[in-house]
């Protein structure tokens, strides 16, 4: 069915839109073949947008799919200089109680990291005290995630905080790669999703 997708639409096309899409992968979980729907989303305006469903047009017609809670925050002035992602930055985490960061100061002055801005269900989940990274130094640490993954209605959570820092008098933002929590897809999750969307 998903090999013949004609179009995909979001319910809030005024702030973000899908520029392109593709279906990729062929993992097998039990008797099911699992594919990934990759969306290239572009921003039309700044601010936060919640995506709850996608409408997919196929040969069989239109169908709406509940996609959980995708929270996208479009911001200005992101930068990867002089602060960059360090040598170790986990993309997938099985443990669900902390966020690991690795940051490298590539500049000639010290950097003050002020905030990790990350929300889940409208709540800030990463609280840090401001810290300094000296010139040409790297800092790695774990931050507790103030969120109970066991009470989440979603099997998978993706966390990508915006890291706010100051470089001298300049305020900057770094966007690290997203980190996936709970990515192990089970037969039970697939069957629950199929039942929910039929």
CA–CA gap between residue 41 and residue 64 (Å, rounded): 18
Of the candidates 77, 16, 95, 85, the one whose C-alpha atom is nearest the C-alpha of residue 50 is: 16
The total of other beta-carbon atoms located within 10 Å of residue 108's CB is 8
Q: What's the predicted TM-score (pTM) here?
A: 0.78
Structure tokens at 46: 């700044």
pLDDT in tens, the chain (198 residues): 455 889 998 876 778 889 999 988 888 888 988 888 888 888 888 888 888 888 999 888 898 888 888 888 887 766 667 999 998 888 888 767 899 999 999 999 999 999 999 998 888 999 999 999 999 999 999 999 999 887 777 778 899 999 999 988 888 999 999 998 877 778 887 787 777 666
CA–CA gap between residue 55 and residue 57 (Å, rounded): 7
């Amino acid at each position: 069915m998903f090999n013949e997708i004609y179009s995909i639409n979001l319910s809030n096309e005024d702030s973000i839109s899908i520029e392109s899409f593709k279906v990729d992968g062929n993992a097998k979980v039990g008797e099911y073949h699992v594919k990934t729907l990759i969306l290239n989303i572009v921003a039309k305006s700044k601010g936060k947008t919640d995506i709850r469903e996608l409408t997919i047009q196929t040969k069989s017609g239109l169908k709406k799919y509940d996609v959980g809670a995708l929270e996208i925050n479009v911001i200005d002035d992101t930068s990867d200089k002089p602060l960059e992602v360090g040598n170790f930055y986990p993309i997938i985490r099985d443990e669900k109680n902390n966020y690991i960061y690795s940051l490298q100061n590539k500049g000639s002055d010290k950097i003050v990291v002020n905030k990790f801005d990350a929300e889940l269900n409208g709540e800030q989940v990463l609280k840090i005290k401001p810290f300094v990274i000296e010139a040409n130094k790297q800092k790695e640490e774990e931050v507790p995630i103030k969120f109970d993954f066991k009470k989440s209605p979603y099997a998978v959570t993706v966390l990508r905080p915006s890291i706010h820092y100051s470089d001298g008098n300049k305020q900057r933002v770094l966007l690290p790669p997203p980190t996936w929590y709970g990515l192990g897809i089970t037969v039970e999750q697939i069957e629950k999703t199929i039942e929910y969307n039929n």
